[in-house]
A and B are shown apart, each in its own frame.
Chain A
Amino acid sequence: MAQHEKITMAQAFNHALRDAMTDDESVLMFGEDVGALGGVFRVTDGLSAEFGDSRCFDTPLAESGIMGMAVGLAMNGMRPVVEMQFDAFAYPAFEQLVSHVAKMRNRTRGAVNLPITIRIPYAGGIGGVEHHCDSSEAYYVHTPGLTVVAPATVADAYTLMREAIASPDPVVVLEPKKLYWSKEEVDLDEAQPGIGRAVVRREGTDATLIAYGTSVPTALEAADAAAAEGRSLQVVDVRSLVPFDDETVCGAVRSTGRAVVVAESAGFASVASEIVARVTERCFHHLAAPVRRVTGFDIPYPPPKLEHLHLPSVDRILDAVDTLQWEDV
């Protein structure tokens, strides 16, 4: 493709799949509606026409079957990429994912590895009806053996998908639905940090916002708003939930001494909770205030007309920043 083209995140994922399939004949893409339709979000657009129905194909409508078939294909030399059509439609595949995908390397003491990429369009903010907006990352990050990434930028969508497919281990790629149509001018050949690395998206000196996936743009917006009020907020994009980049995240927090973790999922026993615990354990002496969380409520994902009340907002982030003990009390 031409360099510095303006493309959407969905197109970046598509380019990553196309390039991976071109480079490696063992890469297969399958799932529900990924063939002729090109996926309900068009992420697999054109792949079946370009690579044929044996490389990119529709399956019967059964997620456990899709995930289990990927296990067998990977055991026999293939590099499967599967699409779970929506976050909450991935749950029937959970047993296969937890009991087999995540454990095969361990069960066989490294004799069998499963290079499977599990694509899951995730999270809300799109006015979706129930079962279409779950932030299900906590289930996956809690499963040893899985690598879990959540890109937030167009460039990362390409890089992290390519790395996921190239990985010798199973990788869950959480694709932020809300950002599928976000556009950026990117050079896909430009190297981005890989899986396992967080990046500082915005420098700042007063406090650190830690976010991933759909929450990164919200955090950046909050930092803009704070700057207008004279407060300098740093924004860290976690990108890779597993492995987690303690070094970059903690380095950032140490530099400001204050932190707020922003995530869309329910906050109880969440990725955000884990980040707070890790930062607190590692940076306690650098902290001027307890680390705060701005997350979704501990409720089932709300209906479209109420979701704005649930999702982390710029105001909620700024309010949380305000509570970080700026003056001794």
Chain B
Amino acid sequence: MPSHDLLPSDEPVQLLDQHGRRTEDSTHRFPSDQELLRAHEALVVGRRINEQAYALVRQGRLAVYPSSHGQEACEVAAALVMGDGDWLFPTYRDTVSIVGRGVDPVDALVLLKGDWHSGYDPTVHRVAPQATPLATQLVHAVGVAHAATLRGEDTVVMAMCGDGATSEGDFHEALNFAAVFKAPVVFFVQNNEYAISVPLARQSVAPSLAHKGVGYGMPGERVDGNDVAALLSVLGSAVDAARGGGGPQLVEAHTYRMQAHTNADDATRYRQDDEVEAWRDRDPLLRSEAYLVGRELLTEERRSAIAATAEEVAASMRDGLMKDVEPVASDLFAHVYATPTPQLREQAAFLDEELSREGAR
């Protein structure tokens, strides 16, 4: 393949401008009304999940929450373009994508609630546990995809990471392995401008992160990360290409993390209010809504139905996460090995005895 075919477009693909008007782009497929309505509902629900999770942190019900507020279009589109048999490899910021794949928000938030390291069975929804060590999950995605290829299955794997993760060695190893083995993986980088406090300029001086693909012989594309129509189009094409035997694909979405890294972070120490304000105008929900209203697709009735759905999800999150799950001490030893070692059995008995003594006091 000539190397220029691998290069991303000069500007991120945009199908809706920030006022919700269609751009002149005619090379990318524009999603159907149905797709956009479905995506809009997911955006509203996703925003509500972010807001509710944030509130639950303040109420002490979640230990921490890395919000995808402002990035919901990426979260939603990534989940929507996948097929039932596909796998998602999310990070800690991708709760909304995980929910988009069918995981209950309460289960998706178990890690951040602190009851256990992960709250869902990855094999049921084909969603890997959320990865905290950066970029490590990208290599796993290649393995899952390669296993599917070996068995002749047409599974595609959506492997998510942020801009900071592209500096990690595992980002390089994952993309290179995927390309060499022609693994059906879509590497989806949400470039939200900051890795906690460090701006993109300190991660890379490449023309764009999507340009990195050419070094692996992999097509890269850039997309407006706050334009759900463009995301559905670009990510959808990437999934199709990977499924069709085109090998791995790299997609970089240009977006912005509207809130701090987590509630424990203070974003005012490293970025200015006017920068944040400018991004407020590019909110993915406003844009999607403006387009759908303009096309008379989002009726008042539809709008209130979507709002009601979002409230139901939030209420169910509150119910589920307000519940105290009594931690089971023996769980500490139950899943270290298939069969606990004699040493672990001894330690479990020790703890059991200690707890029963305390109980008796």
Interface set of A (CB-CB < 8 Å, partner B): 28, 54, 59-60, 62, 64-65, 67-78, 80, 92, 95-96, 99-100, 103-113, 144-145, 147, 167-169, 196, 242-244, 246-247
A77, B180: Cβ atoms under 8 Å?
no
The answer to whether B118 has its CB under 8 Å from any CB of chain A is yes
Q: List 6 A-B contacts (CB under 8 A).
A: A64-B139, A69-B146, A107-B118, A144-B336, A196-B342, A243-B342
B122, A110: Cβ atoms under 8 Å?
no
Given A105-B338, A168-B338; A112-B122 close (CB under 8 Å): yes
B280 to chain A, nearest CB (A): 36
List chain A residues, Cβ under 8 A from B80: none
Q: Which of A72, A74, A80 has the most CB of B within 10 A?
A: A72
* Binary A-proximity of B129-146 (CB < 8 A = 1, otherwise 0): 100010010111111111
Instruction: Determine, out of B55-63, B171-179, B193-201, the stretch whose residues face the partner at the interface.
Output: B171-179
List chain B residues, Cβ under 8 A from A168: 338
Given A108-B122, A145-B337, A169-B337; A244-B343 close (CB under 8 Å): yes
The answer to whether B116 has its CB under 8 Å from any CB of chain A is yes
The answer to whether B357 has its CB under 8 Å from any CB of chain A is no
A71, B143: Cβ atoms under 8 Å?
yes
A195 to chain B, nearest CB (A): 10
CA distance A111 to B116 in the complex (A): 13
List chain B residues, Cβ under 8 A from A243: 337, 341-343
A95, B136: Cβ atoms under 8 Å?
yes
List chain A residues, Cβ under 8 A from B122: 75, 108, 111-112
Name the one of A68, A111, A246 contacting B121, with C-beta atoms under 8 angstroms. Answer: A111
The answer to whether B361 has its CB under 8 Å from any CB of chain A is no
List chain B residues, Cβ under 8 A from A169: 337-338
B177, A62: Cβ atoms under 8 Å?
yes
A68, B337: Cβ atoms under 8 Å?
no
B136, A100: Cβ atoms under 8 Å?
yes
CA distance A18 to B31 in the complex (A): 51
Which residues 212-270 of B sit at the A interface, judged by CB distance below 8 A? none
B334 to chain A, nearest CB (A): 7
A246, B342: Cβ atoms under 8 Å?
yes
List chain B residues, Cβ under 8 A from A92: 169
A75, B173: Cβ atoms under 8 Å?
no
The answer to whether B148 has its CB under 8 Å from any CB of chain A is yes
A103 to chain B, nearest CB (A): 8
List chain B residues, Cβ under 8 A from A106: 117, 335-336
Given A77-B147, A107-B129, A144-B336; A71-B116 close (CB under 8 Å): no
